[in-house]
């Protein structure tokens, strides 16, 4: 991906076990203790059902083999222990084979509020509960298969689809009831409050062409969120001609960004 990171992932032993330090377990506990209250009345029911099924520990980093048993029974998925950063081809290949990449490191106490690299808290707490849901699981697998076969240019457009669904997706029922299913929101207390309750961001019903043409930044609170009426709508999206939509979006070009340009850092 052309980026570097200070983090080094743990290597599981021959039995798939990772020995986490006391500091790392304390960090997990602190993150869970902080985020669970923020999700009350805000996380979607499918996510809550998934957390119940996974039975995530609150006081120590979970072991991937325990996550795998639940995911395999529910939807045929597993996790895959990966380094802090992986290339896009590896990412898509794993998803296409129903293996969700989990970087086996956890942020330091100094990075509690924001971390550019997705750590094990983001991946397990934010994403894995919804991988117990058939619609979310099939959409993610379909996304992986499409990305694996896509060109480098097409992958940039596909990244927006993932960003505005898997990472930062909201649900908004016809009755106006709002909830969260995107893992980038579910694993961040600040983004949870902002996405769910703030009047500042735009919230728009999901439209494939609009999503593919909407720029985003990874280091800010999102200025726009796209909403589905229910998680099962991901079945319908997976059945669309996504790559045909990508081709059309490339012809039409991108919308103007809804955020300021990132300022360069002087050396």
Q: How does pLDDT run along the chain (267 residues), one tens digit per residue?
A: 446 788 999 999 999 999 999 999 999 999 999 999 999 999 999 999 999 999 999 999 999 999 999 999 999 999 999 998 899 999 999 999 999 999 999 999 889 888 888 999 999 999 999 999 999 999 999 999 999 999 999 999 999 999 999 999 999 998 889 999 999 999 999 999 999 999 999 999 999 999 999 999 999 999 999 999 999 999 999 999 999 999 999 999 999 999 988 765 454
| Binding-site entries for Fe cation | 122, 127, 167
What is the reported pLDDT for 5?
A: 83
Q: How far apart are CA 87 and CA 53, in angstroms?
A: 31
Q: How far apart are CA 163 and CA 147, in angstroms?
A: 14
What is the reported pLDDT for 3?
A: 62
What is the reported pLDDT for 1?
A: 41
Other CB atoms within 10 Å distance of the CB of residue 257: 12
- Domains, the chain, in order of start with CATH, read 22-252 (1.10.800.10)
pTM above 0.75, yes or no: yes
- CB neighbours of 199 closer than 8 A, spacing ≥ 6? none
| Binding-site entries | 122, 127, 167
Exposure of 265 in the CB half-sphere (CA atoms within 13 A)? 1
Q: How far apart are CA 206 and CA 230, in angstroms?
A: 11
Q: Which two tokens stand for residue 49?
A: 């059902």
């Amino acid at each position: 991906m052309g980026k570097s990171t200070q983090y080094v992932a743990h290597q599981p032993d021959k039995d798939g076990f990772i020995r986490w330090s006391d500091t790392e377990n304390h960090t997990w506990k602190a993150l869970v203790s902080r985020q669970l209250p923020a999700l009350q009345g805000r996380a979607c029911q499918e996510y809550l059902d998934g957390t119940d099924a996974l039975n995530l520990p609150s006081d120590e980093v979970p072991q991937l083999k325990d996550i795998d048993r639940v995911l395999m029974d529910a939807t045929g998925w597993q996790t895959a222990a990966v380094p802090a950063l992986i290339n896009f081809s590896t990412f898509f290949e794993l998803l296409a084979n129903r293996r969700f990449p989990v970087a086996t490191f956890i942020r330091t106490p100094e990075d509690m509020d924001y971390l550019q690299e997705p750590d094990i808290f983001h991946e397990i707490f934010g994403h894995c509960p919804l991988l117990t849901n058939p619609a979310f699981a099939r959409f993610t697998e379909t996304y992986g298969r499409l990305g694996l076969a896509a060109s480098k240019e097409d992958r940039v457009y596909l990244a927006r689809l993932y960003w505005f669904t898997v990472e930062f997706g909201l649900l908004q029922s016809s009755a106006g009831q709002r909830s969260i299913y995107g893992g980038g929101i579910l694993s961040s207390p600040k983004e949870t409050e902002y996405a769910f309750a703030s009047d500042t961001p735009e919230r728009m019903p999901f439209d494939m062409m609009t999503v593919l043409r909407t720029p985003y930044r990874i280091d800010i609170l999102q200025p726009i969120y796209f909403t589905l009426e229910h998680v099962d709508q991901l079945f319908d999206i997976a059945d669309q001609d996504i790559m045909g939509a990508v081709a059309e979006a490339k012809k039409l070009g991108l919308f103007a960004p809804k955020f300021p340009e990132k300022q360069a850092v002087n050396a």
